[in-house]
Amino acid sequence: MKSRTSEPSDGLGPFPAGQDFSLVLGGPLFQLLIRAHLADDTLMLVRQRIILISLLVWLPLLVLSTLEGQLLGGSVTVPFLLDMEAHVRFLVAMPLLIAAELVVHRRMRSVVKVFLERHLIPESAMTRFDAAIASAFRLRNSVSAEVLLVAFVYLVGILIVWQHYIALDTVTWYATPSVDGSELSLAGMWYGYVSLPIFQFLLCRWYFRLFIWARFLWQVSRIELSLVPSHPDRLGGLGFLSNTAHAFALLAVAHGALLTGHLAGRIFYLGATLTEFKVEIAATVIFLLCLVFGPLLVFTPQLAQAKRTGRSEFGTLAERYVREFDTKWLRGGAPADEPFVGSADIQSLADLGNSYEVVRSMRLAPVTRDAILQIVVATLAPIVPLALTMMPLEELLKMLVGVVF
């Protein structure tokens, strides 16, 4: 394979286009973490990042709510230690978002290399392929993009989404509802202007990375790929893309945990029941499925075309072979001294039939049932404990045993 280089991946050196491709090794925050010795160019030190960032957003809330007498009691309906939504957000979902960076980096860094190893990119389109890689790097490393994310978090995520749709409408450790709006406590100020923005920035940055991934795949799908209809993966050689969905399982768990914390606050303090949130749960699952598998659908037109072409070409080839086979073995055209038993013609006919069946059963998207099931289970797993609010643990276990066995 010819060695080529593209734009720097993270400011640490040139990126070998045929080796690694990373959605996470870049951007101002990444550079800041490197300078703070909380990351390296392989995204190690993940434990240190999780501990430091989680303590930065959670520990001041513990201290301030203690000083204000709202740690476990006081005059508030929801004291700090009983606010499951905050603890799940900062001590479960946030560490998962950070850990997911290493998982995604390791599992997806060979994607570009596989495109080249399988000769899916014609030589005439290498320039466009390299341009798609370079464009993804520029977007991933963009300073202005992360600045805009910060602005979006404060202007939309905090002032609109959190204050009007997420914050509990009751007296809590972080705010007291009033006619003029919520009055924030000292802990609430840190919560609303430091902790939540950091969390929302990390979350939005993941959405931005997934946008970069979708955009890269779309640009690659505009290239006329050298798909092979008879490839045994039944995807013309693109079967490896279906495995990339597994890289986002931790991201799905983080969203499930985030939804669990949100629902728990409504169930325990506002008297809601789990069944009231069926729409929210279904919407979260569908959102994650679209987020993970939606970008892969850009290859559907090329796969459909490859399937039509393959069926036509293999149909013509099969027609020619079976006519010659028919003439030779059924119409007396075979030489008298050529034995029928053990003839390679029979095996070749079977192999041709198998190849045609592979072409006929080609899928139109690099998406598998197992991958879909994994994302669904990863999203719903954190929500399962909330079922205990509807029935005792013993009954729940009996029901699960009955389903399994």
37-51 tens-digit pLDDT? 888 887 888 999 999
In the predicted structure, residue 1 carries a pLDDT above the cut 60:
no
Q: Which residues contact 182 (CB under 8 A, 6 or more apart)?
A: 163, 167, 175, 176, 188
Query: Residue 14: its pLDDT value, please?
Result: 42
How far, in Å, are 110, 260, 262, 393, 394 from residue 388 at the CA level? 42, 13, 16, 6, 9
232-255 tens-digit pLDDT? 889 999 999 988 888 999 999 999
81-136 tens-digit pLDDT? 888 889 999 999 999 999 999 999 988 888 888 999 999 999 999 999 999 999 99
Query: Residue 7: its pLDDT value, please?
Result: 42
65 close to 80: Cβ distance less than 8 angstroms: yes
348-385 tens-digit pLDDT? 777 778 888 888 889 999 999 999 999 999 999 999 88
Q: Between β-strands 14-16 and 5-8, what pairing exists: parallel, antiparallel or unpaired? A: antiparallel
How far apart CA 397 and CA 390 sit, in angstroms, is 13
Whole-prediction pTM = 0.84
> Is residue 235 helix, strand or coil?
coil
Q: Where are the domains of the chain?
A: 5-225
